[in-house]
Chains A and B, each alone.
Chain A
Amino acid sequence: MRPACSAEPKPLRRTVRWGAVVGSALAAFVVVSGALAGFSSLTAGVSHTIVTKRIFLGPRSLAAQDLRDASSGAETNKSDSYSYADGTVATTSTAIASGTNNYVEFTMSSARAGGLSVSGAQFNFRLASSGGAQAGNACFWFDVRSGGTVIGTHGSYASPSGCSTGTTLTTFSTAVPEVTSTDSANGLVIRAYVWETGTKVKTVNVDLATLTGSTPYTAFTAYEIQAVDDTSGTPATAPWSLATVDASTYTDTTNWPSATPATTKYLKLTLEPFVPTGAVVTAVSLNNVWHASAAVTNGGTLCYYLETFNGATSLATHGSGASPVACTNSGTVFASDTVSLPEVNDVTKSNNLVIKLYYWLSPLCGGGGNPTCVKSVTDRAVVTYSYYLD
């Protein structure tokens, strides 16, 4: 409150003084809610909500695990022995008893969209003793590894995760709740310590080693792309032939036809990408890495064209007998072809994709002066799906 500035009759001054006090007190109360100094003004609040996609657009690649070889004219199942409970087994290199700490280790594919939560993860393992005199049962325990670290241990030699009876293949599905994200499911390593209980210890047949689970948007099965057999005490790496460019390749059973392809002779790839319902598929392509089984002489080349299917329904062909997708005459140098498949443009076609590769020798093979007929060597057959989920 300001004092009066000049001498005035006292009654007058007293009135002013009280008025000033009340006035300034009121003013202080009112002004506090406004600016501390000066005038200000603000716009009425406006707000909005921003929501991100559930799955960002990105490429997710996986190899065909189901391979049918129809180079003879009839399909034979050449699928990855660990991917399907189909009786096609992989046998441990060595008879293996309990307590050795030797194992068969599987690296799973990295085909899931990253950053998604995973529930209900399970390791599905199907095994049996290879049998014989004084054979026993096949048992196992396992640990789960991510980024080089053990994140879970299941069972033990004393308390196995499962034992099958005799030579009867049995599937054991063990929950692995430590796998909580697709970031760990991708490239997950599972080390299965197998053993055989027989008096005369036998080898173990493995028919299936998969990881299953669900993201919020889809259930999935992840397959192994590399197995390591340590049952001898020395790890022996056995990659799935079609997964990566490496020493592991697939050579078909029969020489390819001469001069023209045959619709009955092909390599058939079946893909299982588990693209979620509602996703928008923006691009799909096949990467085929291959060469001839031997140098193709006398001016000939091994060629192929391909056809895509939605299950059994043909979608499109790429190339033809007159215009192959690619040819090579090399028996050693791999050709790497990336073929865009724009006809695979939705979730259904993506999840039901089947590709047939029709190989043939061009212009012809066999006989005097002609190149020898050859087979094909495939090192990689991987399909990449680019998709997002709003």
Chain B
Amino acid sequence: MPILGQNERPGRVVASIAVVAAAGALIALGLCAGFASASPLGRVSGSAHRITVGPHALAAVGALAPGDRAERTLELRYRGRFATVVLKTATKGSSLLRSDSADGIRLAIDRCAKRWTKRRGTKAYECRGKRWSVVKTVPLAGKRALKLNHLSRRAGRTDHLRLSISLPLSAGNPLQGQTARVVYRLTGVAAR
């Protein structure tokens, strides 16, 4: 409900709001967030939408050979409900592991209804509950954002995710001794 200041000419403000509404789909995403944090009204409960992933630092994956697979588990917590969550990966420095989309590192993400467990002495995780494919195997190369499917995205929930990092069998000798520093950035769009 628009709040009109005194001495304002209603037509102008309405027109402005209409512009805002029309452009909302494109610019509101960033615009309102900025306003929310800078709002002179202080924080409102909507800005409490937050996703957090743990741990903040994953164990390094080392000495991968073609055909190898390393798994890391993530816990994704929601404060507030989210409409979508996307993943973007960024690499510091270039390396064939990352830039070779045909034979470089691949990534897959799965979700388990329960915490992922690991039997003693093994390196692979198991899911003792319902399981979903969040991201099907894709090359780590590429700067697009990946939409994460089958997340709960529900307030107060924790999604148990498993990252599978693998080097395809087709990777050849030029991929030996390469290192990539990978940042996994998950961004959630709050649901209304």
B-binding residues in A (CB < 8 A): 2, 4-8, 12-13, 15-16, 19-20, 23-24, 26-28, 30-41
Contacts and interface: CB of A to CB of B under 8 A. Distances in A.
A2 B172 contact: no
Highest count of chain B CB atoms <10 Å: which of A26, A31, A33, A34: A31
Given A6-B147, A30-B172, A38 B65 contact: yes
A40 B173 contact: yes
A23 B67 CA distance: 21
B170 interface: yes
Contacts of B90: none
B142 A16 contact: yes
Interface residues of B, number: 29
B103 interface: yes
Interface string B150-192: 0000000000000000000111111110000000000000000
B146 A27 contact: no
A39 B144 contact: no
Interface stretch (B2-10, B37-45, B133-141): B133-141
B102 A27 contact: yes
B149 to A, nearest CB: 9
Given A38-B65, A38-B66, A40-B173, A28 B142 contact: no
Given A2-B138, A16-B142, A39-B66, 6 more contacts: A5-B136, A23-B99, A24-B101, A26-B100, A27-B102, A40-B173
B102 A37 contact: no
B143 interface: yes
B145 interface: yes
B141 A20 contact: yes
A37 B146 contact: no
Contacts of B174: 30-31, 34
B142 A39 contact: no
Interface centre among A24, A27, A33, A36, by most chain B C-beta atoms within 10 angstroms, is A27
B176 A39 contact: yes
Contact of B144 (A8, A28, A30): A8
B71 to A, nearest CB: 20
A6 B146 contact: yes
A250 B172 CA distance: 83
B80 interface: no
Contact of A23 (B100, B145, B173, B176): B100
A20 B142 contact: yes
Contacts of B169: 37-38
A55 to B, nearest CB: 49
Contact of A16 (B67, B136, B144): B144
A39 B99 CA distance: 18
A128 B173 CA distance: 85
B175 to A, nearest CB: 8
13 contacts: A13-B144, A23-B99, A23-B141, A24-B101, A27-B103, A30-B174, A31-B102, A31-B171, A35-B172, A35-B173, A36-B172, A39-B66, A39-B173
